[in-house]
Every structure is written in C-alpha cells, then in structure tokens.
Chain A
Amino acid sequence: MNRHDHFDGFARALHWGMAVLILAMLFVGAGMVASLSLRPMLIDLHRPLGIALLGLAVIRLLHRWRHPPPPLPVSLPRAQALAAKASHVALYAAMLAMPLLGWAMLSAGGYPVRMTPSFALPPILPPDPALYSLLRQAHGGVGYALFALILLHMAAALHHAWVRRDGVFEAMARGRSRTTGATDPEPEAPPPA
C-alpha cells in the first residue's frame, strides 16, 4: 500500500503549479473585464496562460491515467467519497473547458487569438454573433463555477487536513519521506494557507 498512499512528485508539482496559475487566471479574468486601466495588460497575460493551462491539463490527465491517484481512506463515508469523485470530474471538465471556450469565443467574436506580439492561434469557429454571445456567457459562467469548485475543493482538503486528519491532504501536500525514509522530492510544496 505504501506505493499508493501518495501522489508522485510530478503529479504534486502539476497540482500545486496549476492551482496557483488557475487561481491567478480567474482573478485576471474577472479583473480585466471590470478594470478600465488594466485590460490590455491583463488580456495579454490571460490568453497565452490559458492555452498553457490547456496543455498542462491534458498532460495531467494523461499522467493520472498512467499513474492512478492513491485511493481515499476506507473510513470515508460513501457520500463524501462520491462527492470527492464528482468534484474531481467537474474540476477536470472545467480545466479543459475554460481555455477551449475562450479560444472558441474569441474566434466567434472575430478577435485575433493572440499569444505573443508575433504569433496568434488560428480561429476554431467562424465569426457569428449568436455563437459569440453564447460562448462568452459560457466562458464567464464556467469561470465562476470553477472558482466555486476550487473553494469547495480547498475547504474539503483542509477538512481532511485539520478535522479528519486522515492523510488525504498529505497525499498531495508532501512525498512519502515520512513513511519510507526516502528524500522528499517536493520539500517546497506550498503549505495549505
């Protein structure tokens, strides 16, 4: 069982790295829509970072498929285990959907999908007002839902860490050094707060 009670270093690096980037993206997205001064600067950050997160999400799913995560403790009530599973499915769905919705939305709105000053991605949809407004609302709506999911995920993780103390949080927070004596590959993994 020791082999399976922790996420491996690569999975943990992806998780914590993407956690920081996705939270930043959600704040950047909400801020650039509201701000009268920061939009050009933030949108130049938002588009390439969004596409980078799409790539990272695909890598993460592939890695998860090859290296299944450690099982939840048997002590966990069935309803909670089901909720955990459902929230993880929703998180992955939102992670994949957000960049694709953004890319499709810019295409349908007739905007260049600019990554750098000299490189833009091709449009994936023709310009169309109905498609654009649908996708624009979906990008916003899924974004708010993703933020709510992240809050839920964070609260549940801290519940495992501080209330249940069942090792679920530690499976992602640190390596197996404490149980196997191996060196921790991620000593700088961010603390929970």
Chain B
Amino acid sequence: MPPLPDNPSPPSPPPLPWGAWAAIAALVLALSLAFAWVAGWIAPAGRLTASRLVDDIENGKPFPGFRRAHSRGVCVAGYFEPSAEAATLSRARVFRQPRTPVQGRLSIGGGDPFGPEAQARVRSLALSLRTDDGQEWRMAMNSFPFFAVATPAGFHAQLLASRPDPATGKPDPAKMAAFLERYPEAARFQAWAKSAPWSSSWANTGYNGVNAFRFIDAQGRSRFVRWWMQPQAPFQPLADTTRQQAEADYLQRELQARLARGPLRWDLVVTQAADDDPVDDPSQPWPDARPRYVAGTLVLERSEPQATGACRDVNYDPTVVPDGVALSDDPILAARAAAYSVSFNRRERETARGDIAMPAGAEGKEKQP
C-alpha cells in the first residue's frame, strides 16, 4: 500500500498509480465480501441462517399469509392478574399492576393452516401482555414439557429427518435413526409424544415456556426460571375415535362452547432453577423438586378467527420481554426470535398484497377476508 503523502499542498502526480488503484479496489472488495458473509449471502452450504431454516420449514410449499409454523389457530383475549408473591420474583410491571390486558393466540403445531386440530400432538398458547407503563411481554408456550433438541442444528436435522419420503408418504426410518443417534436427547421428546395423554380441549391443556429466562427483582437480584400455564379446567381425555373423526375445527368449536359458558383460567406457575440446572438447554427438564411459585392467573374471555383477529399481525417473539425479565443463553430461544421474524416478514408481505392461501378444495379466486 502506498504511503500517504507527507505534504499534500504541492501535488506531485505520479505517472501510473497502479498500486493505489489496486489498494482501493482490494479494500472495497474486502468490505463487500465481509458484508456478504455476515448477511449470509456467501455462507458455506452447511451454515444455517434464519431464512434457510424457514425455507426448510416451508419445504417449497408455503401457505402464503400464514405463520410458517403453528399456522392454524384462533385469536383470544382476556387479562392477567398477579399473585401476591409474584412481585418478589420479578420487578416486571405485570406483577405489580392489579390487572393487565392480554391478547393472544391458541394454536396447533404444524405448518398446515387447514390441518385437523384434534390430531395435532402439539398445542400452543402465545400471549402479549401490555402494562400501563408501555412495556410489553410476549410469550410463546407449548404443550410439550421440554424441547425435542438442544440446539438449532438439532432442530434442523429433526426437520429434515421427519420429512415424508415421497415413496412411502412416511418419514424414512433410517434417516430418523441417524438423527436420533446424533441427537439422543430427542428420544425423550418422542417418548413424551407417544405416551402423554391427549386432553380434550385447548382449555384443559398446560402450556410450557420451555426456554429458561431470568427474573430480576426490585433489588436487582437475578434468578433463572421457566414457567408454565397450568389449566384450572380439569383434564378430560380426548378419545381416539374422536381424535380421528373430529371435524378439522374441533378445538375451535370446543373453545367457543366453553367461552360461551364463562372465562377460562390458567395459573402461571414459575419454577426456579437450582445453581447447577441447565439453563441453556431446553431439551433437559429440571427436577420436579425445584421450588414453584404461582405468579398469577391468566383469564381468557373471548376468541375470534385469526383471519380477522388482533393476533394475525403480531409476531409472538418470546424474546420481547419487559424490564424485570431477561433472556438466558438458551440457543433455541435466540433461534426462535430469528425464525419467527423471517416468518413474520414473509407473511406480512403476502398479507399486504392479498396473497393468502385457501383451503384445498376452495374454488374461485376470491380471497379469505
């Protein structure tokens, strides 16, 4: 690289400054390449970016206008009331304000917005709580008690291994075996999926935060926690025959019937980690003996279809937390934020241009409202 001129005032143009030109070109090229690498444009094939993960979730068959995962659901609304001891766990305003309005979404796992609700192994509850100080807490909870895998790479491997083989219509057992060998923690989740009892309603299902977070109290002390929404509605089993034969909107109808009789309630149960509990691995449940606190009650009073409801244009990103709640280093938590954002950007763009998927068999060109 040529040195800077000692004195710029008397210009002495060199005959052919090829070195200077080369140095300028090299700098521009180096910065461009660094930017392209950071943006994931020239990433090696093995590097998983947020948009590549969502591409693989879509698997070439996205349902425009819908969330790329947990696509089928219904908007809900109500309020949250904290318990007396909640304020000792976290200084979050939601634990001090007598009542916080809540809007949210009940949904089922899977990417098909028209799939049969009763047959979904995974159900989920997403919430947005806005307090009077302008702070917001978003949660995205699932009926499974722990995540299947410890890392985004494991999630991606599971996604690929679970894809139906075009020949048989079912996942390739050899691929699934190879996945389980590489990510043995997923066996625990598969055992849960096989044996966990099926409940009859969104209302009598519990929803786990799964990822670890930190609660920070008024003195600035921090503790690692996980939480779950424990239903006050008693468990009722979903019979196998009902599950197989129910109408696709079984859970929505069931929910509406319950809401017509009165509000639905869940207790927010907070579990505090011991010092050596894993706080960066959502596939590992904490021992049952850990202290638990009831931090309040969630009350859902109303539901409306997601096509027109308030939950449609909300990204229930669980990393949106208020003062008094902070994130852990759980890699699945960070990956959820990244993937949900890609999904949100794609579906909002589709929604904006009126490109919204219709159920199979729906005729005509008219769009859903």
Chain A residues packing against B (C-beta within 8 Å): 26-27, 30-41, 43, 109-112, 114, 117-118, 120, 122, 127-130, 132-134, 136-137, 147, 151, 154-155, 158-159, 161-167, 169-170, 178-179, 191-193
State A49–B103 Cα separation when bound (angstroms): 31
Cβ of B35 and Cβ of A136 under 8 Å apart? no
Q: Which of A158, A163, A178 contacts B7 (CB 8 A)?
A: A178
B368 CB-CB contact with A under 8 Å: no
Interface check B326, CB cutoff 8 A: yes
Q: Cβ of B8 and Cβ of A193 under 8 Å apart?
A: no
Please measure, in the bound complex, the distance between the C-alpha atom of A35 and the C-alpha atom of B135, giving whole angstroms: 26
Residues of B near any A CB (own CB < 8 A): 1-2, 4-5, 7-9, 11-13, 17, 20-21, 23-24, 27-28, 31-32, 34-35, 38-40, 43, 48-51, 53, 134-136, 152, 313-315, 319-320, 322-323, 326-327, 331, 333-335, 337-339, 341, 344-345, 348-349, 351-352
Contacts of B50 in A (CB 8 A): 33-36, 39
B349 x A162 contact (CB < 8 A): no
Residues of chain A within 8 A (CB-CB) of B345 are 133, 136
Residue contacts A-B, CB under 8 angstroms, 22 given = A27-B38, A30-B38, A30-B40, A33-B341, A35-B49, A36-B334, A37-B152, A37-B334, A39-B319, A41-B334, A112-B134, A117-B326, A128-B313, A133-B351, A136-B348, A137-B349, A158-B23, A159-B20, A162-B4, A167-B8, A167-B11, A191-B4
- Which of chain A's residues has its CB closest to B6's CB? A178
Chain A contacts for B337, CB-based, 8 A: 39-40, 43
A residues less than 8 Å from B21 (CB atoms): 163
Question: Roughly how many angstroms separate A31 CA and B334 CA in the complex, as a whole number?
Answer: 13
List, in ascending order, chain A residues with CB within 8 A of B327's CB: 40
Residue of B nearest to A132 (CB): B348
Query: Is there contact, CB below 8 Å, between A158 and B313?
Result: no
- Cβ–Cβ contact A162 & B8, under 8 A: no
Whether A193 pairs with B34 at a CB distance below 8 angstroms is no
Report which of B24, B136, B344 forms a contact with A112, defined as CB distance below 8 A: B136
Contact A129 B348 (CB under 8 A): yes
Residues of chain B contacted by A26 (CB below 8 angstroms): 35
Cα–Cα, bound, A39→B38 (Å): 12
**Shortest distance in angstroms between B190's beta carbon and chain A's nearest beta carbon?**
23
Q: Kindly report which residue of chain B lies nearest to residue A158, judged by CB atoms.
A: B24
- In the complex, chain A residues whose CB is within 8 Å of the CB of B352: 129-130, 132-134
CA distance A5 to B344 in the complex (A): 51
Residue in A134, A163, A169, A178 with the greatest tally of chain B CB atoms within 10 Å:
A163
Q: How far is the CA of A193 from the CA of B3 in the complex (A)?
A: 11
The answer to whether B48 and A165 have CB atoms under 8 Å apart is no
The answer on a CB contact under 8 Å between B7 and A30 is: no
Q: A118 CA to B315 CA in the complex, in Å?
A: 21
Residues of A within 8 A of B1 (CB): 193
